Structure 1
Amino acid sequence: MVAFPSPQQLRYLLALAELRHFGRAATACSVTQSTLSAGILALERQLDVQLLDREVGKRVVFTPLGEEILRRGRVALEALEAICQVAEASRDPMTGPMRLGIIPTIGPFILSRLVPLVSDLFPRVRLFISEDMTERLQERLMTGRLDVLLLGMPCDCDGLETTPLWRDPFVLIVPPGHPLEALPVVPLDRLAGERMVLLEDGHCLRDQTVDVCRQGNNWADSEPEAMHTASSLHTLVRMVGQGLGIGLVPQLAVDHGLLDGAGVMARPLTGGPVWRTIGLGWRLRSPRAEDFRTLANGLRRLGPEGAVIAGNALETRVGS
């Protein structure tokens, strides 16, 4: 009789693939490093194959066969988890734990309203929240460590089903005395030649800012060389206040105090689609998809009047 890999062995393997470090993978799985190592070694012996290349020193490198087993193991573990989720969802929808990932350009400005709203609308849901950049959140979603993500779109959402919640306009911020301060509304093409302060690579808001500026033919197909980068929106605002450049920030953050005491001027933009879309995303074919659509309908209450996208106003997008 064939001895199949256990779900725990697959979880060890997926955690190691995601984190590329035995210690961090063990912590993520709530076991000791020796337990995780022994579990993966037992899996190799059980399958009579080598999953890891141990000739490359301390780096975690999977063999080609290990990568293939990793891919199939991810699918298998999702299927096993789906069995339990389908049963639970059929018994009682909108109950139990829900692990929500949220990006740092949304989280600080919405959690104070999101948490009580979910508690009021769905009292039997136990909400667990993790904040990180989009790419890392998506990795955790695909490995089953998160259930659903609150995202800024457009984004690279392959493997996800997403639904829009509301539009979040971008606002131009400039230091005091900047020529653009005199304009009540700033056309995108007036940003041409301006030095920008952007978020660091890894923030989807950086890519969205670049896309908005390209609409005004400011940067063509490249980014300006002479610019500064910031690790957070708060740092970006302070850098603009110091005269290092101008920047784009989301209205959501401005409405919740991002610019308070920063000494910068804010102006609306015109000349193209100058917004991001706040949306909710989950794994394709998730057995809890209906729960997440119900959650999305509730979260739309957080959007400002006039910016909310009704569930049937824009088609739900399915990643390839």
Structure 2
Amino acid sequence: MKNLPSLKNLHYLIHLHREQNFNRAAKACFVSQSTLSTGIQNLEELLGQQLIERDNKSFMFTATGEEVVARAQQVLTDVTDLVDLVQQQGKPMTGDVRLGCIPTIAPFLLGRLLSQCQQKYPELNLQIKEDTTEQLLLALGEGKLDLLILALPVETHGFHSKKVGIDPFKMIVHKQFVSGLKEPVDYHSLPENSIFLLQQEHCITGHAISACQLQDTRKVHPFSATSLHTLVQMVSCKLGATFLPQMAIDSGILKGTELEVLDPPGEEPYRDIGIVWRQTSSRLTTFRGIGDEISSLLQ
């Protein structure tokens, strides 16, 4: 049998590629810089290929080094999934699950999800990370996260996904703004620059524009918010209207404001809520159990 590289040295290589600095990579691996450097040199000797070009002040990964990093990441992810498979045999709703969630869902769902899971599955430990869809998918692929809660549809890059519920959008306006609206609301009658939306990369913006047929961009204010709370503040200043997901409204985001909730005209806009996981993961029963808890909360 061939001599195989150690997982530890592959781990060192991955962190060096990620940090692009020997000192930072060593700290991330909780070893000395000399230990990390020696481990990578041993890996090069074992493979018989140069992975890093070095000089006195800098270094760069060779083409082979880049390929080894990508393969090493998959190897470590598969090994982690293998350990999970063995440890979770017969006890699916136990152990650690590193759960990622996007900012337009996390503040309004995760607190209730954690509380519900703690009561029903006391041996299940959900470790939460909030980030953008792009960053969460990257972390999932690198094995840093186990399960994601995202708004679908989204390009999942070969991961498995499952819809667990829907989240309708409502139109939010100041009560003084309502008096000037005719029901059902006609978007064409709204003033220019009167609709506030999140930045374009947020799923809610794309869903709202599509479902509510906001093709007339003159109605949309050029200001774009980074959070739903900022949208609430803008509309509270009597500057126009916006759209909020039902889960945010149910969580009390409008409490203490003078804002009113209206049904959007025509087709009711909504977003699908789904969970996403790696195809190689062995914890499908656990993930489906968490998805069932999310479904019950979305009802």
Report how far residue 282 of structure 1 moved.
0.8
**Counterpart Cα distance in 1 of 2:68 and 2:112:** 42
Deviations along 1:102-142, whole A, 9 cap, x unmatched?
A: 22211211233111211122222122112222211111111
Indicate how the Cα distance of structure 1 residues 272 and 77 shifts in structure 2: closer, same or farther if over 3 A, else same.
Answer: same
Partner of 2:112: 113
Indicate how the Cα distance of structure 1 residues 10 and 116 shifts in structure 2: closer, same or farther if over 3 A, else same.
Answer: same
Indicate how the Cα distance of structure 1 residues 223 and 123 shifts in structure 2: closer, same or farther if over 3 A, else same.
Answer: farther
Deviations along 1:120-170, whole A, 9 cap, x unmatched?
A: 222221221122222111111111111111222222222321111211111
The answer (yes or no) to whether the contact 1:26–1:33 under 8 Å persists in 2 is: yes
Partner of 1:218: 214
Partner of 1:271: 266
Please report the TM-score for the alignment, with normalisation by the length of structure 2.
0.82
Matched letter for residue 126 of structure 1: N
Matched letter for residue 120 of structure 1: Q
Indicate how the Cα distance of structure 1 residues 41 and 88 shifts in structure 2: closer, same or farther if over 3 A, else same.
Answer: same
2:167 corresponds to 1:168: yes
Partner of 2:237: 242
Report how far residue 228 of structure 1 moved.
1.1
Partner of 1:311: none
Partner of 1:143: 142
Partner of 2:51: 51
Pairs aligned (count): 298
Report how far residue 49 of structure 1 moved.
3.2
Partner of 2:70: 71
Deviations along 1:18-38, whole A, 9 cap, x unmatched?
A: 566666655654556665555
**Identical amino acids, percent of aligned pairs:** 35
Partner of 1:4: 4
The answer (yes or no) to whether the contact 2:81–2:280 under 8 Å persists in 1 is: no
1:183-222 map, 5 Å: 183=182, 185-186=184-185, 194-200=193-199, 202=201, 206-219=202-215
2:227 corresponds to 1:232: yes
The answer (yes or no) to whether the contact 2:190–2:219 under 8 Å persists in 1 is: no
Indicate how the Cα distance of structure 1 residues 73 and 171 shifts in structure 2: closer, same or farther if over 3 A, else same.
Answer: same
2:268 corresponds to 1:255: no
**Counterpart Cα distance in 1 of 2:63 and 2:145:** 27
The answer (yes or no) to whether the contact 1:150–1:281 under 8 Å persists in 2 is: yes
**Counterpart Cα distance in 1 of 2:2 and 2:218:** 55
Matched letter for residue 289 of structure 1: L
Work out which of the two has the higher radius of gyration on C-alpha atoms and give 1 or 2: 2
Q: Which runs of 5+ in 2 are unaligned?
A: none
Matched letter for residue 254 of structure 1: I
Partner of 1:315: none
Please report the TM-score for the alignment, with normalisation by the length of structure 1.
0.77
**Counterpart Cα distance in 1 of 2:218 and 2:75:** 42
* Aligned Cα root-mean-square deviation (Å): 3.4
**Counterpart Cα distance in 1 of 2:24 and 2:44:** 21
Partner of 1:310: none
The answer (yes or no) to whether the contact 1:161–1:281 under 8 Å persists in 2 is: yes
Indicate how the Cα distance of structure 1 residues 120 and 196 shifts in structure 2: closer, same or farther if over 3 A, else same.
Answer: same
Instruction: Select the residue among 288, 292, 298 that pairs with 2:287.
Output: 292
**Counterpart Cα distance in 1 of 2:31 and 2:165:** 41
**Counterpart Cα distance in 2 of 1:142 and 1:216:** 34
**Counterpart Cα distance in 2 of 1:295 and 1:197:** 34
The answer (yes or no) to whether the contact 1:52–1:66 under 8 Å persists in 2 is: yes
Matched letter for residue 72 of structure 1: R
